[in-house]
Structure 1
Amino acid sequence: MEISVSTGLYYTKGYKEILDIIASTSCRNIELFLNQAFIDIDVLELQNEVSKRNLNVLSIHTPLEFIAFPRRESEQYWINKSIEISKILGSKLIISHMVLGEYFDERISSLDDLHKENMINYCSIEDIHITSENLPKFNGGSFLGRVDELFEFVTENNIDLTFDTTHCAFSGYPILETFMKFKSHVKNIHISDFDNGNEHKVLGEGNLPLKDFITHLKKEMYDGIMTIELDLDNKKRNNITSTKQAIAAIQKSIDYIENNIR
């Protein structure tokens, strides 16, 4: 298992500051989340800045819909672009789930159907895993929030999955049992804590049984990526008000994992 930290910690800071914060922890691996801070950075410039900080890009998360769709950029566009970025940065996994929001092409009647089509079309690419991700469950929301429907899709089409603990908890599903259901398809885990409706909390600061979850992953010899995905912008989720606190919060989450896999 390789531990990684998502650059999606912040949407409001510059990309160099986000990389500096992660580089100040003991983790050397990152998931490149292409939010506002990273979406328009030249990939060679990004490669240089990542290398300068002795970091490695293990995975790439495509932009969310509210960023990409106003730019008239589709999920297919960003999967292709992420593949090209992966070739330069050496990452082996991509996460994509553009299934929400108002699409710029009115010919597309269902973003769920388009996402399914994209996942099927890209699932056999060599040397890189294109993964979907379970999302929070909402009435009338995406199939990615409905466990049984998502399970049927990934098993019938041999789709790789990024399993998100806090999305699973938000939907009311037990994280360990749900992970075990999808285990053979999971290549990446987005791990964060959850409490009272608040997602993406620092590990150990919510009410999820993360200790048991991590211990079970070790027992199951899970050999994928475990990506710490926190939200340090939203003060309701994590009351982080300084760079020093941000570094400490990330390090606390890293230590939480490492202390439970020894």
Structure 2
Amino acid sequence: MEISVSTGLYYTKDYREILDIIASTSCNNIELFLNQKFIDVNTSELEKEIIKRDLNILSIHTPLEFIAFPRKESEVYWIDKSIELSKIFDSKVIVSHMVNGEYFDDRIKTLDELHKQNMIDYCETKDIRVTTENLPYSDQGSFLRRFDELFKFISNNNIGLTFDTTHCAFGGFPIIETFNTFKDFIKNIHLSDFDKGIEHKILGEGTLPLKDFIVQLKKDNYEGILTIELDFDNKKRNNILNNEQAISSIQKSIDFIKNNIK
């Protein structure tokens, strides 16, 4: 199990500042989330800044729909681009779930159908695992929000999953039991705390049984990535006011994990 930190901490700060914040903690692994601040960074420039800070990119998260679709960039476009980046940075996991919003092209297929086909088409990509992600539960909208349909799809097609703890908790599902249902397909975990409908909180500041969950991961010899995914721009989620608080809060979450896998 390798611990990582998502660059999706912020979408308002300069990408170098985000990298500086993560590099100031004891974790040098990152999930490169291609949000507003990373989507247009030149690859050679990014490589230089990553090397300068002695960081490793373990996984890459494609842009969300509201960023990519207005640019007329499809999920396939971004999976292909992420595969190219993965080869440069020697990362092994890609996360993609473009199933919401208005598509830019006229297609007969729904976004769910396109996403399913993309996951099937890329599931055997050599040395790089393309994963989908469970979204907050709802009986409407994408199949990624309905765990019975999601499980049927990934189990029937051997699709890798990035398991998000707070997305799971949002629908009232127990994270440990749900993890156990999906664990044969999980390659990456988005780990954050949850409290009273608020997602992506600092570990230990919500109500999820994260200690027991981490102990379960150790017991199961989980060999995938454990990605700390927090949100510091939304003050309702985490009231982080400066970079020093951000660094401290990330380190707190890292220590929370390490203290429970001893």
Q: Which residue of 1 aligns with 2:146?
A: 146
The 1-side partners of 2:21 and 2:108 are apart by 40
Q: Which residue of 1 aligns with 2:118?
A: 118
How far 1:219 moved relative to its partner?
A: 0.5
Q: Which residue of 2 aligns with 1:91?
A: 91
Q: Decide whether the 8 Å contact of 1:108 with 1:114 is kept in 2.
A: no
Q: Decide whether the 8 Å contact of 1:12 with 1:233 is kept in 2.
A: yes
Q: Decide whether the 8 Å contact of 1:7 with 1:33 is kept in 2.
A: yes
Q: Which residue of 2 aligns with 1:107?
A: 107
What letter corresponds to residue 203 of structure 2 in structure 1? Answer: L
Q: Which residue of 2 aligns with 1:183?
A: 183
How far 1:108 moved relative to its partner?
A: 4.5
The 1-side partners of 2:229 and 2:251 are apart by 12
User: Is 2:171 the partner of 1:195?
Assistant: no
Residue identity (%): 71
The 2-side partners of 1:217 and 1:145 are apart by 23
SS at structure 1 position matched to 2:148 = helix
| CA deviation map 1:92-128 (0-9, x unaligned) | 1100000001111132441111000000000011100
The 1-side partners of 2:12 and 2:106 are apart by 31
| CA deviation map 1:170-215 (0-9, x unaligned) | 0111000000000110000000000011000000000000000000
SS at structure 1 position matched to 2:233 = coil
The 1-side partners of 2:212 and 2:34 are apart by 31
What letter corresponds to residue 188 of structure 1 in structure 2? Answer: N
SS at structure 2 position matched to 1:167 = helix
User: Is 2:35 the partner of 1:31?
Assistant: no
What letter corresponds to residue 3 of structure 2 in structure 1? Answer: I
CA RMSD after TM alignment: 0.7
Q: Which residue of 2 aligns with 1:170?
A: 170
How far 1:90 moved relative to its partner?
A: 1.1
Where does structure 1 differ by over 6 angstroms across 4 or more consecutive aligned residues? none
Q: Decide whether the 8 Å contact of 2:62 with 2:78 is kept in 1.
A: yes
Q: Decide whether the 8 Å contact of 2:139 with 2:145 is kept in 1.
A: no
The 2-side partners of 1:59 and 1:219 are apart by 24
Q: Which residue of 2 aligns with 1:18?
A: 18
User: Is 2:56 the partner of 1:56?
Assistant: yes
The 2-side partners of 1:10 and 1:135 are apart by 20
Q: Decide whether the 8 Å contact of 1:162 with 1:190 is kept in 2.
A: yes
Q: Which residue of 1 aligns with 2:137?
A: 137
Q: Decide whether the 8 Å contact of 2:6 with 2:33 is kept in 1.
A: yes
How far 1:51 moved relative to its partner?
A: 0.6
Q: Which residue of 2 aligns with 1:245?
A: 245
User: Is 2:127 the partner of 1:127?
Assistant: yes
Q: Which runs of 5+ in 1 are unaligned?
A: none
Q: TM-score, normalised by structure 2?
A: 0.99
Give aligned pairs, total.
262
The 2-side partners of 1:195 and 1:103 are apart by 33
The 2-side partners of 1:257 and 1:144 are apart by 27
Q: Which residue of 2 aligns with 1:211?
A: 211
Q: Which residue of 1 aligns with 2:76?
A: 76
What letter corresponds to residue 56 of structure 1 in structure 2? Answer: N
